[in-house]
Amino acid sequence: GGTTTALTANDTLNGSPVVVGTAPGNVTVTGVSVPTGLTLNADGTVTVAANTPAGTYPVEYSICEVNNPTNCDTVISNVVVSTP
C-alpha cells in the first residue's frame, strides 16, 4: 500500500503545468477506468491498497478545465506496484 505522486505532473493546460483545484484556471481530475486495488484521488494521486499484487496498472483519467468544463483530455498513466 501507499500513495503515488500526482499523475498530472506531465499534464499541461495552454502550455503551462496543470494545477488541480477548484479555482479558475485549475483543472479537475476524474477517473475513467481505475483498476481494482487502486483509488484515484481528487488531487491526482493514486492510493494503492495493501496487498495489491505487483504489476503495472493502467489508470485512465480525464482532466477538465474549471472555467471551461467541456475542455477536457483523457490520459492513461501506468502505475507500477512493486513487491513489498
Tell me: the pLDDT tens digits for 52-81? 999 999 999 999 999 999 999 999 999 999
pTM of the model: 0.88
pLDDT band at 1 (very low <50, low <70, confident <90, very high): confident
Q: What's the average model confidence in pLDDT over 12-25?
A: 91
From residue 30, alpha-carbon distances to 22, 39, 53 in Å are: 13, 11, 24
Predicted confidence at residue 14, as pLDDT, reads 85
> What backbone phi and psi angles, to 5 degrees, belong to 8?
-80, 5
Predicted confidence at residue 22, as pLDDT, reads 93
